[in-house]
Structure 1
């Protein structure tokens, strides 16, 4: 009986010590946050270091050091282009979080909102099936495209999030798009000075995931 109790205590101590040794490694395991977007996230008209994604990376170095930010954004990218690239990016980076900032170019080119919603839905499902949490960044287009189109475009993001269990963030250019001094001369791209505001708009929804 004493021999049995001795072995039981010894086994318990060994398992306990093993957990203590493994826990710090698991808790400090690095994770990847992948941003897949267009020119808004590719820091169009400025250096990459000035863009909101770079600002996010620097902030997470302090608040969430276990996350490494990968910016896979390309100027001119559409939701269809993002859908084509996403499987390779998921395989390469194996992200824990995927932030999708796409759709603006679809709207500016007048692509059907139903097609945008379908592409966003497929991307969200691909990322979630790969084990990642997904954040869809809301986008809007100018009212001159007509009330019906702009409403359907706006709703595409919420519907894709609802269909896939992804997280949805509000319009990321809120408080920026209507202020001339925060927009470049083309009236489409935010200035370098506006990048902290973009991060401010995205961060609350992102922190809910992290």
Structure 2
């Protein structure tokens, strides 16, 4: 009987040690929740800024892995539906939220967009993740008041929710024909390093190099 108890105790300790080692070896994750701007619309996957970020982290010795949870055409509502599963599956250290543009193209109320973005931030923070919010500007198709209210959402939320912000994700890209696809909406492959350059200064403050 004593031998049996000792063997059971040994197994319990062994399983605990294996689980502890496995946990220690898990790489911290950065989750990108976005739309076509991050999904690499009409360009090769390895050319997109998210993959360039992954390569940069590996090159510079960061332990992190990047999960691209972006889907072309996604709205903030669709992002809210997908986020809980992604958080449970990957348990990210940082969530980069790049959504809202498709809502605006549909003329969705800026108030509703802000509410959805706020819920995305809160859901991410409740999981223990830090949040980086990427601000988007849109052309004044629905009028200047709409475009300004939409753009202001991002700075307001960053202040209210105490999260990091890239004020304009497409800085030095939007409006530059050499860096945009023919549709005038999506950045081309040449623009991707600039998009990463726009994101990196804020993201760098949220991730840690190994000791």
Q: Deviations over 1:47-101 (max 9, x none)?
A: 1100000000000112252110000100000011001100111001000000000
Q: Aligned partners of 1:45 and 1:37: how far apart in 2? A: 15
Aligned residues, how many?
187
CA separation in 2, counterparts of 1:144 and 1:92? 38
| Contact 1:29–1:66 (Cα < 8 Å) also in 2 | no
Q: Work out whether residues 175 and 184 of structure 2, in 8 Å CA contact, stay in contact via their aligned partners in 1.
A: no
**Structure 1 counterpart of 2:125, from 103, 112, 128:** 128
Kindly tell me: are residues 112 and 174 of structure 1, through their superposed partners in 2, closer, same or farther at Cα, counting changes over 3 Å? same
| RMSD, aligned α-carbons | 1.7
Distance in 1 of aligned mates of 2:26 and 2:83: 23
2:74 to 69, 72, 77: 77
1:87-133 CA-to-partner distances (Å, cap 9, x unmatched) read 11100100000000001101111111111110111010111110000
| Cross-structure match for 1:182 | 179
Q: 1:45 to 1:186 in 2, by over 3 A?
A: same
Is this contact kept in 2: 1:117–1:159, CA < 8 A?
no
Structure 2, unmatched stretches of 5+, are 1-21
Report which of the two structures shows the higher radius of gyration computed on alpha carbons.
1
Aligned to 2:159: 162
- Name the structure 1 match of 2:193: 196
Match of 2:141 among 135, 139, 144: 144
Q: From the superposition, tell whether residues 64 and 100 of structure 1 become closer, same or farther in structure 2 (CA, over 3 Å).
A: farther
- Return the alpha-carbon distance in structure 2 between the equivalents of residues 75 and 111 of structure 1: 17
* Counterpart in the other structure of 2:40: 43
Partners of 1:31 and 1:169 lie apart in 2 by 22
- In 2, Cα distance between the equivalents of 1:197 and 1:84? 30
TM-score (ref. length: structure 1): 0.85
Confirm or deny: 8 A CA contact 1:34 1:69 kept in the other structure. Answer: yes
